[in-house]
Amino acid sequence: MKFLNRYRLPVAVFLFILFLLIPVQLMVDNPMLLLERFLPGGGWIEIALIALYGVVVAYHMQDPSKVQAWRRYTWLAFSVVFFSQLILGLFGYEKFLMTGKLHIPVPMMILAGPIYRGHLSVMSILFVSTLVLSGPAWCSHLCYFGAIDSISSSGKTRRSPIRNKWALKSTVLLLVIAGAIVLRWLKVPVFTATLLATGFGVIGLGLILLVSRKEGRMVHCTAFCPIGTIVNLTRFVNPFRLTIDQNSCTECMVCTTTCKYDALNPSDIAARKPGITCTLCGDCISSCHASSIQYRFLRLSPRRARNLYLLITISLHAATMALARI
Q: What pLDDT, on the 0 to 100 scale, is given for residue 309?
A: 95
- Phi, psi torsion values for 255, nearest 5 degrees: -65, -25
Q: Does residue 59 carry a pLDDT above 80?
A: yes
Q: Does residue 99 carry a pLDDT above 60?
A: no
Note whether 240 and 280 are within 8 A (CB): yes
More confident residue, 35 or 177: 177
User: 295 pairs with which residues across the strands?
Assistant: 242
d(CA 103, CA 8): 39
More confident residue, 46 or 32: 46
Query: Within 13 Å and on the Cβ side, how many CA atoms surround 259?
Result: 29
d(CA 133, CA 235): 10
Residue 175 pLDDT grade (very low, low, confident, very high; cuts 50, 70, 90): very high
Q: Where are the domains of the chain?
A: 2-323
SS3 track for 257-325 = HCCCCCCCCHHHHHCCCCCCCCCCCCCCHHHCCCCCEEEEECCCCHHHHHHHHHHHHHHHHHHHHHHCC
Mind listing the pLDDT tens digit for each residue in 243-301? Answer: 999 889 998 988 888 899 999 998 999 999 899 999 999 999 999 988 899 999 999 99
More confident residue, 3 or 110: 110
More confident residue, 325 or 292: 292
Q: What pLDDT, on the 0 to 100 scale, is given for residue 285?
A: 93
pTM: 0.89
d(CA 182, CA 40): 44
**Average pLDDT for 11-31:** 91
Radius of gyration of the chain (CA): 20
Mind listing the pLDDT tens digit for each residue in 128-150? Answer: 888 998 889 999 988 888 889 99
